[in-house]
Amino acid sequence: MNPLVTVRGLSKHYGRQHVLESIDLELHADQICVLLGSNGVGKSTLLRSLIGLEDVKADTLEVLGLDPRRKPDALRRLVGWVPDHSDVPAWMTPAECARFQEHCYDGWDSSRLAQLFDRLDVPTRRAFAKLSRGEAAKAMLALALASRPKLLILDEPLARLDPRTKAEVLACLLAEVPIDGGACLLATHNLDVAVRAADRVLVLANGRVESAVDVSNIDSTQTTPCGLRARLERLYDSNTLEPVR
């Protein structure tokens, strides 16, 4: 089957500063792919480039059969997107946001959204400015899932949440993630999220995908959560930390 996302040789420069350097990435159906990397390593830039929010150079850039540089609007109707900083106006309530977004997505499903809001206990009639961090994160996830997107892209969806809310949001994500032909790309610097959720982990460092770990394969050869965590930690550290001299 064709991958849902194909990226070959993607680069992004700000002036002379190289943020991303010849990134290759493939995302297949029924996969949760975790993009692991420190703050400022270019995770957000990479995710944003997949939905046409960044001007990038690439040999191949294809998302759900579309080039985000040429057809960003058509593509955004199909992709569920949770940015790391909410782009919703602070005065808007989740319910108002839903009425606005309803027209921006194909496949919008209001009853599904109502279920998700309910399940996650989102105060739908309170402005985003007055929501707690956890409530806002849950509202954003529910809104991103409401269109039953074939591709779900999440930028640090669990960052700065307390452990209980983190568990709740992760559970919802794992229950509702687009499988059955869909896929999910999730950026995080949280190793536990990677260990629990990922089919595949890409370690992003120095503007490149430095390592890729196929979790589905190592789990079947008896790798424990601790073993996987240790392995990811080694890859992460070896690529992000300066060696001690």
Partner 1 sequence: MKTWTIDQSAQAPPSRQLVEAILDRIANGSLQPGDQLPSVRGLAAEVRVNHNTVARAYRELEALGVLRGENGRGSFLTPSSTQVARRERSAATLIQFRTALHEALRAGHPIEVLESELRQSAKESA
Binding site for partner 1 (CB under 8 A): 30, 32, 167, 170-172, 174-177, 179, 192, 195-199, 215-216, 219-220, 222-226, 229
Would you say 226 or 244 has its CB closer to partner 1? Answer: 226
Would you say 50 or 198 has its CB closer to partner 1?
198
174-180 long-range contacts (CB < 8 A, ≥24 apart) are 176/116, 176/145, 177/32, 177/152, 178/80, 178/148, 178/149, 178/150, 178/151, 178/152, 179/30, 180/30
Nearest-angstrom CA–CA distance, 66 and 63: 5
Shortest distance, position 132 Cβ to partner 1, whole Å: 21
DSSP 34: E
Indicate the helix (H) or strand (E) that contains 8: strand 5-14
Q: Of 107 and 225, which has the nearer Cβ to partner 1?
A: 225
Name the residue nearer to partner 1 (CB basis): 92 or 230: 230
Rounded to a whole number of angstroms, the minimum distance from the CB of residue 214 to partner 1 is 11
| Residue 166 and residue 158 in contact, taking contact as beta carbons nearer than 8 Å | yes
We find the least distance from the C-beta atom of residue 71 to partner 1, in angstroms, to be 30
Closer CB to partner 1, residue 76 or residue 148?
148
Q: 30: which 2 tokens?
A: 């029924």
β pairing state of 5-14 and 60-63: antiparallel
Distance of closest approach, residue 236 Cβ to partner 1, in angstroms:
17
CB 172 within 8 A of CB 121: no
